[in-house]
Structure formats: structure tokens, C-alpha cells
Amino acid sequence: SSFFSLENLKNKQGIELGCGCGLPGICLAKLGMKKMILTDFEEALELTRKNIEKNQVSKNCETQSLIWGKTDE
């Protein structure tokens, strides 16, 4: 089997950093990833959540707010 086989996605988890509209993560979820976490700043995630719902991948796709370079100092 090839490294890029769809079978290799089964029971795997992934994270998409700076997901924007979430297209790559949503596609991977639809192709069989067990769980995808899509991250971006909170304002961008509104569209991502809508796309997750429209593509019916809510059970294996979630969003989390993440701001690159932001420290608590």
C-alpha cells in the first residue's frame, strides 16, 4: 500500500494550523480521519464552523482558537 493511501487516514488524528475556511481539514475528515482539529483566531472560526456543519463532519472535526505569536506577558 502507498503512503498516500486513503487507508492510512483511518483512525488518525490531525491538526490544521491557521485553517481559514478549513478546506484541507474538512476534506481530510471526509476522507476518513478519525479526528481533525482546525485552529485559527476566533473571528475566522465562525466561517470554519459553518463549513464543518455544511459538510457534515461535526462528529470528527472541531475548532479551537489559536493566535500565533501571542504571549501572556
CA 25 – CA 29 distance, rounded (Å): 6
What is the pLDDT at residue 69?
Answer: 75
Amino acid (one-letter) located at 26:
I
> Mean per-residue pLDDT for 58-67?
95
Q: What is the pLDDT of residue 2?
A: 66
pLDDT recorded at residue 7: 84
Query: C-alpha 37: how far from its chain's center?
Result: 4
CA gap 73, 61 in Å, rounded: 31
**Contact criterion met (CB below 8 Å) for 36 and 15:** yes
Task: Compute how many other C-beta atoms are within 10 angstroms of the C-beta atom of residue 53.
Answer: 11
**Tens-place pLDDT, residues 8-59:** 888 899 999 999 999 999 999 999 999 999 999 999 999 999 999 999 999 9
